[in-house]
């Protein structure tokens, strides 16, 4: 089936299978920042934003995404750099595989949480697994970005 | 899950007609099973355009559309000010925020999966389901009998009531599925539900009857729990372990609602 997807404020035409995941379609279209990890809705590395909300693209139908605004980390531009910088400054970029999803989820968290705390940040990011298990460094950087002591 | 055709109907009549005429079609919820199941269907029916994503107060009840995400329920102010946060507590530890933004309450209920914590919580509320063809059905009846298989779940209707409630669970790690879940409410009467045993949640009869007859008989009521429910093994916990922790969680929940 044919559909038109709004990705990072640009329209892309795609010819997809009815049951194809948004993850596979995004990667076919060249958005390689969207990683394929567990592919079963557990690890969070395939996270993208749909209308500003983080979702798992491995379990989101590409067909359902038509008519919505999809944002990958490429679409955040300088807003992504701000988050990447605080993580790098703590030496927490590590292998980088979980990075794009972590940046997107952190960006969504900043828009959503009015009074962030360490507990709320940990809860919000519980679905973003890091295979290097470097959570402490990431959290130090993200706390600074969120303005939490 | 696999399907050859994807259809997004524009009204309930069209959706029901497709569902009834093609026995191998399936209504798509949050599609969280997209890569967890290898079952093949002919047609996936997406109800996204039918306005089923809502939470609203209507007189003395709260209505939740079947396509409302678990995350929306977790954060909604109407839900949070009612039932002592029972519903948000039964959702907030499920995988991660991204997962809960995908998963819908309709999918969680219609799937009748054993690990679905929100079913445990809804059982202790005064709750009905509204279907397109079958109309209103008692929630407990649907969960116990699963007598409706080819219909469209439109909304969940919960009666607002004054009182206390408590949700307890145990899990191996914070974002995993639970190994046991317990919900207790004390509105008109005390209701106790035990879920993730690992089979689907169920209401207690004997323990509830005893505690309603005498609120001081917490220990006696708790002692009935292990005989009243069947517990089993899965990869997260063994039958004996579940059997041992169930009375403890029920006792803690009862103490909270009876203070």
Size of interface A-B (CB pairs under 8 A): 84
Contacts of A34 (CB under 8 A, 6+ apart): A23, A26, A27, A46, A48, A57, A72, A100, A101
Per-chain mean pLDDT for chain A? 96
Query: Are B6 and A105 within 8 A, CB to CB?
Result: no
Is the pLDDT at A58 greater than 90? The verdict is yes
**What homologous superfamily does CATH list for A76-146?**
[2Fe-2S]-binding domain (1.10.150.120)
- Do B126 and B136 meet the contact criterion of CB atoms below 8 Å apart? no
- Backbone angles phi and psi of B249, in degrees to 5: -65, -40
Task: Report pLDDT for B2.
Answer: 93
| pLDDT tens sequence across A10-52 | 999 999 999 999 999 999 999 999 999 999 988 999 999 999 9
Contacts of B234 (CB under 8 A, 6+ apart): B198
Helix A99-112 and helix A135-146: axis angle, to 10°? 30
Nearest-neighbour CA in chain B from A80: distance (Å): 19
Bridge partners (DSSP) listed for residue A2: A15
Contacts of B87 (CB under 8 A, 6+ apart): B73, B74, B79, B118, B121, B122
Cis peptide before B154 (omega within 30 of 0): no
Task: Report pLDDT for A32.
Answer: 96
Confirm or reject contact between A44 and chain B (CB < 8 A): yes
Task: Report pLDDT for B162.
Answer: 86
Q: Is B166 helix (H, G, I), strand (E, B) or coil?
A: strand
Task: Report pLDDT for B38.
Answer: 87
Q: Which residues of B touch A42 (CB under 8 A)?
A: 95
Per-residue confidence band for A141, with pLDDT thresholds at 50, 70 and 90: very high
Instruction: Name the architecture of domain B55-159.
Output: 2-Layer Sandwich (3.30)
Q: Give the residue-averaged pLDDT of A76-96.
A: 94
Q: Which residues of B touch A44 (CB under 8 A)?
A: 96, 98
Confirm or reject contact between A124 and chain B (CB < 8 A): yes
- Backbone angles phi and psi of B180, in degrees to 5: -165, 145
CA angle, corner A121, sides to A119 and A127, nearest 5?
Answer: 110
- Do B120 and B201 meet the contact criterion of CB atoms below 8 Å apart? yes
Task: Give the whole-angstrom CA distance, residue A12 versus residue B142.
Answer: 43
B2-49 maps to which CATH number? 3.30.43
Nearest-neighbour CA in chain A from B28: distance (Å): 10
Which residue from B97, B72, B80, B74 is spatially nearest to B165, judged by alpha carbons? B80
Task: Report pLDDT for A133.
Answer: 85
Q: Give the residue-averaged pLDDT of A55-77.
A: 97
Task: Report pLDDT for B106.
Answer: 97
| pLDDT tens sequence across B27-69 | 999 998 888 888 999 999 999 999 999 999 999 999 999 999 9
Task: Report pLDDT for A59.
Answer: 95
**What residues does each domain of chain A span?**
2-74, 76-146
Task: Report pLDDT for B33.
Answer: 84
Q: Which of 193-252 (B) contact A at CB < 8 A?
A: none
Query: Are A105 and B46 within 8 A, CB to CB?
Result: no
Give me the residues of chain B with pLDDT under 50, please.
none
Token pair 């600074």 in the structure block, residue: A144
Q: Give the residue-averaged pLDDT of A74-81.
A: 96
| pLDDT tens sequence across A105-134 | 999 999 999 999 999 999 999 999 999 988
Strands A47-50 and A10-15: unpaired
Task: Report pLDDT for B147.
Answer: 85
Helix (H) or strand (E) holding A146: helix A135-146
B164-258 maps to which CATH number? 3.30.390.50
A2-74 maps to which CATH number? 3.10.20.30
Q: Give the residue-averaged pLDDT of A84-101.
A: 94
**What residues does each domain of chain B span?**
2-49, 55-159, 164-258
Q: Give the residue-averaged pLDDT of A132-149.
A: 94
DSSP B178: P
- At B150, list the tokens: 């080819």
């Amino acid at each position: 089936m044919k559909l038109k997807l709004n990705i990072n404020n640009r329209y892309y035409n795609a010819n997809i299978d009815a049951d194809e995941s948004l993850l596979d379609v995004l990667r076919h279209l060249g958005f390689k920042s969207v990683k394929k990890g567990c592919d079963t809705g557990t690890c969070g590395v395939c996270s993208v934003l749909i209308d500003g909300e983080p979702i798992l693209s491995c379990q989101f139908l590409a067909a359902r995404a038509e008519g919505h605004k999809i944002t990958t980390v490429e679409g955040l531009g300088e807003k992504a750099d701000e988050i990447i910088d605080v993580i790098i400054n703590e030496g927490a970029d590590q292998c980088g595989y979980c990075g794009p999803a972590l940046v997107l989820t952190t960006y969504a968290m900043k828009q959503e949480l009015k009074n962030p705390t360490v507990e709320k940040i940990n809860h919000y990011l519980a679905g973003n697994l890091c295979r290097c298990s470097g959570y402490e460094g990431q959290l130090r950087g993200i706390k600074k970005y969120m303005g939490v002591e | 899950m696999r399907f050859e055709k994807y259809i997004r109907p524009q009204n309930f009549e069209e959706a029901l007609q497709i569902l009834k005429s093609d026995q191998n079609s399936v209504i798509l919820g949050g599609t969280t099973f997209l890569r967890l199941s290898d079952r093949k269907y002919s047609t996936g029916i997406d109800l996204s355009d039918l306005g089923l994503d809502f939470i609203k107060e209507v007189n003395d009840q709260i209505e939740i559309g079947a396509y409302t995400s678990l995350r929306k329920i977790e954060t909604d102010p109407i839900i949070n000010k009612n039932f002592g946060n029972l519903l948000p507590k039964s959702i907030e530890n499920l995988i991660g925020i991204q997962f809960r933004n995908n998963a819908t309450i309709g999918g969680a209920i219609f799937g009748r999966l054993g690990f679905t914590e929100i079913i445990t919580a809804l059982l202790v509320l005064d709750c009905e389901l509204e279907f397109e063809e079958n109309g209103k059905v008692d929630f407990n009846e649907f969960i116990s009998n699963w007598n409706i298989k080819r219909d469209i779940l439109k909304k969940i209707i919960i009666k607002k009531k004054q009182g206390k409630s408590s949700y307890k669970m145990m899990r191996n790690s914070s974002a995993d599925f639970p190994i046991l879940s317990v919900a207790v409410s004390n509105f008109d009467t005390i209701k106790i539900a035990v879920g993730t045993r690992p089979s689907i949640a169920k209401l207690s009869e004997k323990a509830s009857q005893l505690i309603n007859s005498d609120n001081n008989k917490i220990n006696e009521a708790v002692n009935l729990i292990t005989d009243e429910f069947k517990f089993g093994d899965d990869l997260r916990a063994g039958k004996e372990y579940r059997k041992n922790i169930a009375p403890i969680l029920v006792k803690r929940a009862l103490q909270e609602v009876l203070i």
